[in-house]
């Protein structure tokens, strides 16, 4: 029976609920067939499976966009021509960054006249968008959040680390995930480091901040020992971007473990953001730095401070460390993670020839523009 097994927070329950939604929509009058759980246009399962199976390859995504364009289907507010144009545009952005990661890529196209997706704002309102369809059940069960689009598909989610270990197979079957923001890492650090599912991850963000004004205290504090465990993971060989935000308990031991790890050969940007040191740039959103919320009105910018003293200390001991100089290689202290992933400087022989070479004493850093945020949205 179609209602069997729809309750619960399991993979089987999520699949049963989706069958129920699809059954209800299929049997409803045409004018009622608008649901966030059912795509508003026919899908090509084979092409979508190719996108998910080859997350680093542009060809399956372009083939999917070409199929949508040929379909030329309009249903309610969903146009396959708009979606195809969106995929094509985001792939062009990625290709531009492969050529020059310092360039400004400009705004993303607007889908359906109400979903602004820009280079630095990739979240969709409430997951209610058809290209996030395969992840909606995971989001509805509270397992994933912060779906960000890269190259036309959701590649980033945020979640608890223990949940990632539980549902990684299901997550990777639903979308071409390459970017993660994880919380609660310390509790499962060893299991996480041993997980082969990390092999697909190109960027990892481990922030330690309050995500809810009603919940006091840090939510993801890390220690040097936890970082050492992650740095020794044999499955992070393709990680290009690592962000440690407000991890004020970390010391030089953690940074050295990361930048000298033989298991992180592609690490090209180690971003350490703190509220307690020297360099200042404007940001938005007091609760979730670097994650501007689509419906929030930001009247006053938040100033975050970007540390320089830890870099100087690190390089006095090791010599030049390329991955801590995003302003030199990406033109910003806080580059878009896609610029780093699409153009990892760790694969540039000229840059890596300077690695750990002695450097002169550091002077004052020149002013470099940080990541630009769109105007506040309503």
Residue 12, judged by CB atoms within 10 A of its CB (0-12, 13-18, 19+), counts as exposed
Mean pLDDT of 116-121: 36
- What count of other Cβ atoms lies within 10 Å of the Cβ of residue 83? 24
pTM of the predicted model as reported, rounded to 2 decimal places: 0.79
Is-contact 154 127, C-beta < 8 A? Answer: no
Nearest 5°: CA angle at 329, between 147 and 192?
Answer: 45
Mean pLDDT of 101-121: 51
Res. 135 pLDDT band, cuts 50 70 90: confident
Res. 19 pLDDT band, cuts 50 70 90: low
pLDDT of residue 340: 96
Tens digits of per-residue pLDDT, 205-216? 999 875 554 455
| 57 phi, psi to nearest 5 deg | -95, 130
Q: Which residue has the higher pLDDT, 135 or 196?
A: 196
Nearest 5°: CA angle at 179, between 178 and 185?
Answer: 125
Tens digits of per-residue pLDDT, 251-285? 999 999 999 999 999 999 999 987 543 333 333 33
Average pLDDT, the chain: 76
Tens digits of per-residue pLDDT, 286-318? 333 333 333 222 333 344 444 567 898 999 999
Mean pLDDT of 130-151: 75
DSSP label at residue 276: S
pLDDT of residue 350: 96
CB burial readout 311-323, b (16+ within 10 A) else e? beebbeebeebbb
């Amino acid at each position: 029976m179609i209602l069997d097994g729809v309750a619960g927070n399991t993979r089987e329950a999520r699949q049963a609920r989706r069958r129920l939604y699809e059954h209800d929509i299929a049997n409803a009058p045409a004018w009622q067939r608008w649901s966030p759980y059912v795509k508003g246009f026919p899908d090509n399962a084979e092409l979508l499976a190719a996108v998910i199976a080859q997350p680093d390859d542009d060809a399956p995504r372009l083939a999917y966009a070409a199929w949508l364009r040929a379909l030329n289907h309009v249903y309610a507010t969903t146009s396959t021509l708009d979606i195809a144009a969106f995929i094509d545009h985001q792939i062009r952005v990625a290709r531009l960054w492969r050529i020059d990661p310092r360039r400004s890529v400009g705004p993303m196209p607007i889908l359906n006249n109400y979903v602004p997706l820009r280079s630095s704002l990739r979240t969709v309102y409430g997951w209610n968008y058809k290209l996030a369809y395969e992840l909606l059940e995971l989001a509805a069960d509270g397992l994933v959040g912060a779906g960000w689009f890269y190259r036309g598909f959701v590649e980033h989610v945020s979640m608890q680390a223990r949940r990632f270990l539980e549902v990684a197979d299901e997550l990777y079957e639903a979308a071409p995930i390459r970017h993660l923001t994880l919380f609660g890492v310390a509790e499962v650090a060893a299991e996480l480091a041993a997980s082969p599912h990390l092999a697909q991850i190109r960027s990892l963000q481990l922030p330690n901040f309050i995500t809810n004004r009603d919940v006091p205290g840090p939510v993801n504090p890390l220690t040097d020992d936890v970082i050492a465990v992650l740095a020794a993971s044999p499955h992070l060989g393709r990680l290009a971007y690592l962000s440690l935000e407000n991890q004020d308990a970390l010391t030089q031991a953690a940074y050295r473990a990361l930048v000298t790890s033989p298991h992180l050969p592609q690490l090209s940007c180690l971003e350490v953001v703190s509220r307690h040191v020297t360099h200042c740039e404007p940001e938005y959103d007091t609760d979730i730095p670097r994650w501007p919320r689509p419906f929030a009105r930001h009247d006053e910018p938040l100033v975050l401070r970007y540390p320089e003293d830890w870099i100087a200390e690190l390089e006095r001991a090791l010599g030049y460390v390329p991955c801590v100089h995003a302003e030199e290689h990406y033109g910003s202290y806080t580059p878009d993670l896609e610029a780093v992933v699409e153009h990892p400087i760790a694969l540039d022989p000229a840059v890596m020839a300077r690695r750990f070479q002695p450097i002169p004493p550091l002077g004052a850093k020149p002013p470099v523009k940080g990541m630009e945020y769109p105007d506040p949205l309503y």
